[in-house]
Amino acid sequence: MNKYIEIINIIEKAGFVAYIIGGYVRDYLLGIESNDVDIATNATPKDLVKIFKNAIVLEEYGAVKILVNNHLIDVTTFRRELSYKGIKPEKIEYITSLEEDLKRRDFTINTLAMDRDGNVIDLLDARQDIDRRIIKTVREVSVEFMEDASRMLRALRFMSTLDMKLDEEIIKFIDENKELIRNVNINKRKEELDKIFIGKGAKRFFDYVKKHDLGEVLGFKVNTFIETKSLLGVYAQINLIDDFPFTKQEKKQIKEIKSLLLKGKIDKIDVYQKGVYISSIAAEILGLDKRKVNDMYYALAIHEFKDIDITAEEICSVLNIKPGEELGSIMNIIENDIVLGKLENKKEAILNRLKR
C-alpha cells in the first residue's frame, strides 16, 4: 500500500490532488483483501510525465502507467467520456472535478475514493449500497448498458464474486436485452467469465444463468456444476457454443478433464496418461480424495514412456521386427502392464515377457 501512497504524495507535492479510486476502496469496506488499485488525479498525462520520468502514456485513455518497485500502477486523469466506439471511449475531455469523474463510472459501489490518510470519500451514496449489498448503476441502466454491453457481465461478476444482489432495474434490463451480450468481444467475454469462474460465487452465477436463461448468449451450456478451484475444471463442466480463445494446451487439458468426468473414476492408467495435475482437478470435481490420486501417481513404476527399462531398438532386435505399427502395439502392451503392476520394470522381466 505504501507505494500507492508514495505516488499520491508525489502528485500532491506537485500541486495536484490524487486519490485511490474504485475497487480497492469498495473491497476495503467489504473486508476483502485487494490488489485492485487505481489512482485518479486532476493532473493531466502531460503533467504526470513531467512528475514521473518513467511514466508510460496511454493518451487515448487519459491515463499513464508508472513503474514503482518493478510494479506498474495505473494513474488516470479525471475525465468525462463524450463518445464511445464499441466499448472504448472514442472522445474524452479532461476535467478537474472528482465528483464529475465518479459520475462516469459504471456502478455506485465503484465510486468510492480514498485519500492519502485512508479517509473514504463517498460523494454518490455508494456506502449505502454496499451496506445493503446491492449493485446499482450510476446513471440510468439503459444508458450504462447500451453504451457498453460488457457492463452487464461486470454486474453479473460483482453479483457472484461479492455475494450481492442486482438492482431490479438491472435484472429487468438484462432479461429484456440479453441478446446484447452476444455483441461483447469474445476475448472480453472470456476475461469476465474467467474472473467469475475463479471467484467464490461461481455456483451462484450458474444458478442465476440457468434461472434467467443466459447461457446461450454467454456462449455456453451447463447442466450441473460442482465448485472447483481450477479454472480449467470449470470450463470442463460446461459445453462451449462459441469459439473461446484458449491455447492449444488449454484445449487439450480441458478435453482430458472432461474425459475423466465422463468416466466417473480415476485409475492408474488415467493418472499415468494424463498426469497428476489433470487427475487432481477431475478428482476434486468427482468428489474423490485428491491425496489418494497423488499417492497413486507417485507410486507408479514409470511416469513416462522413456522410463521403461528397454529401448524400442532392443525390442526390434529380440523379436526380429522392424519399427512400425507392430512395434507400437507391443510397446503399448508393455507400458500398460508395467503401469498396472502386471510386469516389473526391469529389462530381464520385459525380455521374458517378450519371449512369451
How far apart (Å, rounded) are the C-alpha atoms in residues 88 and 108? Answer: 20
What pLDDT, on the 0 to 100 scale, is given for residue 269? 97
Q: Beta strands 18-21 and 113-114: pairing type?
A: antiparallel
Q: In the structure grid, which three cell numbers stand for residue 26, read together? A: 469498495
Beta-carbon contacts of 187 under 8 Å, excluding residues fewer than 6 positions away, are: 245
Note whether 218 and 181 are within 8 A (CB): yes
Kindly state the average pLDDT of the residues 349-356: 89
- Number of Cβ within 10 Å of residue 346's Cβ equals 13
Q: What is the pLDDT of residues 177-201, one digit of tens each?
A: 999 999 999 999 999 999 999 988 9
State yes or no: pLDDT of 87 exceeds 60.
Answer: no
Q: In the structure grid, which three cell numbers stand for residue 145, read together? A: 448498458
Note whether 202 and 225 are within 8 A (CB): yes
Q: Name the pLDDT band for 82 (thresholds 50, 70, 90).
A: low
Kindly state the average pLDDT of the residues 120-149: 96
What pLDDT, on the 0 to 100 scale, is given for residue 22? 85
Q: What is the pLDDT of residues 310-343, one digit of tens each?
A: 999 999 999 989 999 999 999 999 999 999 999 9
Please, what is the angle between helix 202-211 and helix 150-161, to 10°?
130
How far apart (Å, rounded) are the C-alpha atoms in residues 261 and 236? Answer: 8
Which residues on neighbouring strands pair with residue 221, listed in sequence order?
239
State yes or no: pLDDT of 172 exceeds 90.
Answer: yes
What pLDDT, on the 0 to 100 scale, is given for residue 255? 97
What pLDDT, on the 0 to 100 scale, is given for residue 185? 94
How far apart (Å, rounded) are the C-alpha atoms in residues 115 and 298? Answer: 53
State yes or no: pLDDT of 83 exceeds 80.
Answer: no
What pLDDT, on the 0 to 100 scale, is given for residue 54? 84
What pLDDT, on the 0 to 100 scale, is given for residue 58? 73
How far apart (Å, rounded) are the C-alpha atoms in residues 288 and 280? Answer: 9
State yes or no: pLDDT of 53 exceeds 90.
Answer: no
Q: Name the pLDDT band for 1 (thresholds 50, 70, 90).
A: low
Report CA 100 to chain centroid distance, whole Å: 31
Distances in Å between the Cα of 120 and the Cα atoms of 105, 107, 132 are 17, 17, 18
Could you tell me what percent of the chain has a pLDDT over 70? 96
Count of positions (residues) in the chain = 356
Kindly state the average pLDDT of the residues 38-67: 86
Place of cell 493418472: 271
Which secondary-structure segment (H or E) carries 58?
A: strand 56-58
What pLDDT, on the 0 to 100 scale, is given for residue 69? 73
State yes or no: pLDDT of 84 exceeds 60.
Answer: no
Q: In the structure grid, which three cell numbers stand for residue 171, read together? A: 435484472
Note whether 63 and 40 are within 8 A (CB): no
State yes or no: pLDDT of 16 exceeds 60.
Answer: yes
Q: Name the pLDDT band for 72 (thresholds 50, 70, 90).
A: confident
Q: In the structure grid, which three cell numbers stand for residue 46, read together? A: 502531460
- Of the candidates 273, 271, 238, the residue with the CA atom closest to the CA atom of residue 254: 238
Surface-to-core class of residue 37, CB atoms within 10 Å of its CB (0-12 exposed, 13-18 middle, 19+ buried): buried
Note whether 340 and 268 are within 8 A (CB): yes
Kindly state the average pLDDT of the residues 300-319: 93
How far apart (Å, rounded) are the C-alpha atoms in residues 324 and 91? Answer: 65
How far apart (Å, rounded) are the C-alpha atoms in residues 261 and 281? Answer: 10
Average pLDDT, the chain: 93
- Of the candidates 83, 82, 86, 66, the residue with the CA atom closest to the CA atom of residue 74: 66
Kindly state the average pLDDT of the residues 26-34: 92
Q: In the structure grid, which three cell numbers stand for residue 236, read together? A: 470442463
Q: What is the pLDDT of residues 208-252, one digit of tens each?
A: 999 999 999 999 999 899 999 999 999 999 999 999 999 999 999
How far apart (Å, rounded) are the C-alpha atoms in residues 326 and 342? Answer: 21
Kindly state the average pLDDT of the residues 72-78: 90
C-alpha torsion angle, residues 207, 209, 210, 216 (rounded to 10): -150
Q: In the structure grid, which three cell numbers stand for residue 44, read together? A: 493531466
Kindly state the average pLDDT of the residues 274-299: 96
Asked which of 27-36, 79-88, 186-195, 261-270 is least confident by mean pLDDT, the reply is: 79-88
